[in-house]
């Protein structure tokens, strides 16, 4: 005989009694400035997902055309995006040295930073 499944309310109460989930580990890292291929544009929160996908397609294509293997991509988001839902966003992929960009893709220097990174 199988045991009956608890209702959603009972399951929620059990979760509360069992306590919060364990915290996500966070690493602190110092990252040096690095050259990167980047696309920077003013983007709304509603446009962000589609813009992000298109930007990284272009960044991958530009790196491939230049014959380089890019590093792990990332993004720069000002707090303004979360406050007023529109901001100047930068999608980037670090590259080794001087690489020529085309179209919307430009070579930029991503500044050095102290980062807190969630390690999942």
CATH number of the domain to which 60 belongs: 3.20.80.10
Residue 10: inside a domain, yes or no? no
What is the C-alpha separation between 34 and 115, in angstroms, rounded?
15
Of the listed ranges 5-9, 18-22, 28-32, the one predicted with least confidence: 5-9
pLDDT of residue 6: 55
Cα 9 to its chain centre, rounded Å, is 35
Residue 7: inside a domain, yes or no? no
What is the C-alpha separation between 92 and 56, in angstroms, rounded?
8
Mean pLDDT of 90-112: 93
Contact (CB, 8 A) for 4 and 72: no
Residue 58: inside a domain, yes or no? yes
Taking the CA atoms of 91, 93, 99 and 103 in sequence, report the sign of the dihedral they define: negative
3-state secondary structure of 8: helix
pLDDT of residue 68: 95
Residue 96: inside a domain, yes or no? yes
Residue 102: inside a domain, yes or no? yes
Pick 11 or 67 by higher pLDDT: 67
39-53 pLDDT, tens digit each: 999 999 999 999 999
Q: What's this model's pTM, rounded to 2 decimal places?
A: 0.73
Domain span at residue 89?
26-118
Q: Count up the domains in the chain and report the number.
A: 1
């Amino acid at each position: 005989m199988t045991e009956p499944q608890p209702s959603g309310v009972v399951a929620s109460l059990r979760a509360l009694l069992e306590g919060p989930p364990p915290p996500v580990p966070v690493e602190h890292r110092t990252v040096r400035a690095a050259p990167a291929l980047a696309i920077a544009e003013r983007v709304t929160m509603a446009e962000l997902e589609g813009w992000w996908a298109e930007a990284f397609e272009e960044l991958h294509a530009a790196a491939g055309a230049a014959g380089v293997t890019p590093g792990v991509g990332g993004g720069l988001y000002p707090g303004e995006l979360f406050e007023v839902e529109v901001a100047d966003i930068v999608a980037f992929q670090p590259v080794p040295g001087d690489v020529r960009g085309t179209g919307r893709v430009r070579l930029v220097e991503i500044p050095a930073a102290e980062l807190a990174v969630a390690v999942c």
